[in-house]
């Protein structure tokens, strides 16, 4: 998202359109390929996964909403993108330390 906005940093229409497009694609990907809501969480890490999933969707929506009106909210969007990256690190660490299902 940020790399696409660097194509023309002086043009606000470029970064606004890229932020909106990538945010909408991010929400669609999270809803299509995210955790299944019908599965009941059994462990604290499962609850954490669901919370992070919905927080990430909210962040994507907030970034898209801030990019729509012609206000100067680039700094706020930068903070939201940073939080989104930190959530990605959380998910990556969760996947790295995840244990598989027990083989019986």
How far are the Cα atoms of 17, 18, 22, 96 from residue 27, in angstroms, in the given order? 15, 14, 9, 23
Look at residue 35 in the predicted model and tell me its pLDDT.
Answer: 65
Look at residue 10 in the predicted model and tell me its pLDDT.
Answer: 73
Alpha helical stretches, state H, the chain = 2-5, 12-33, 44-67, 74-96
The reported pTM is: 0.67
Look at residue 44 in the predicted model and tell me its pLDDT.
Answer: 65
Structure tokens at 2: 């940020």
pLDDT tens for the chain, 104 residues long, are: 666 666 666 777 777 888 888 889 988 988 888 766 555 656 666 677 778 888 888 888 988 888 887 777 777 777 888 888 888 887 787 777 766 655 55
């Amino acid at each position: 998202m940020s790399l696409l906005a660097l194509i023309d940093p002086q043009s606000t229409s470029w970064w606004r359109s890229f932020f909106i497009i990538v945010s909408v694609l991010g929400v669609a990907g999270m809803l299509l390929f995210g955790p299944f809501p019908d599965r009941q969480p059994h462990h604290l890490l499962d609850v954490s996964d669901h919370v992070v999933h919905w927080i990430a969707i909210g962040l994507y929506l907030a970034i898209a909403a801030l990019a729509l009106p012609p206000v100067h909210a680039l700094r706020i969007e930068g903070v939201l993108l940073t939080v989104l990256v930190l959530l990605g690190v959380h998910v990556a660490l969760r996947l790295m330390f995840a244990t598989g299902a027990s083989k019986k």
